[in-house]
């Protein structure tokens, strides 16, 4: 009888599993990059607590438990100034975006990627 080699099937299984996880890893780092852009654009006060490199640890930002994607940005009534970065459109998991009662200028970036958006509060920008 022929000899059974498990090396190739085992390696193939590893590659398939790795490829299955890589979009999630990329999405997490992409969300972090976008949120860092937002932080730079708005220069939030230290009281907002956006010092951690992981935006999922920031006050007024919530991430999903299963994949750490940003799904809420609640920065209304914070006295923020500046404009929203174009990269904000790269987020695709936010369900709620609250920006009201700040001093924001410029256009609202495209929210076409916000496929899960359930509510946006942007009055008196």
Radius of gyration for the chain, computed over Cα atoms and rounded to the nearest angstrom: 19
9: pLDDT confidence band, cut at 50, 70 and 90? very low
7-121 belongs to which homologous superfamily? Ribonuclease Inhibitor (3.80.10.10)
Which pair of tokens denotes residue 70?
């940003």
Beta strand 70-74 pairing with 61-63: antiparallel
Flag whether pLDDT at 24 surpasses 50. Answer: no
Which pair of tokens denotes residue 56?
């999922």
pTM for the full model? 0.74
Whole-angstrom distance, CA of residue 91 vs CA of residue 101: 22
pLDDT of residue 122: 85
pLDDT of residue 72: 96
Which pair of tokens denotes residue 43?
């220069």
Flag whether pLDDT at 11 surpasses 80. Answer: no
pLDDT for 83-98, tens place per residue?
A: 999 999 999 899 999 9
Domain boundaries, the chain: 7-121
pLDDT for 39-70, tens place per residue?
A: 999 989 999 999 999 999 999 999 999 889 99
Residue-averaged pLDDT of the chain: 81
């Amino acid at each position: 009888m022929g000899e059974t080699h498990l090396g190739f099937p085992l390696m193939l299984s590893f590659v398939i599993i790795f490829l299955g996880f890589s979009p999630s890893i990329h999405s997490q780092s992409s969300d972090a990059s976008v949120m860092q852009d937002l932080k730079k654009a708005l220069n939030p006060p230290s009281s907002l607590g956006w010092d951690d490199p992981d935006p999922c640890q920031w006050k007024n930002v919530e991430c999903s438990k299963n994949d750490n994607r940003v799904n809420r940005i609640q920065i209304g009534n914070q006295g923020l100034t500046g404009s929203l970065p174009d990269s904000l459109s790269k987020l695709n998991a936010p369900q709620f975006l609250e920006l009201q009662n700040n001093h924001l200028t410029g256009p609202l970036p495209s929210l076409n990627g916000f496929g899960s958006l359930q509510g946006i509060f942007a009055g008196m920008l």
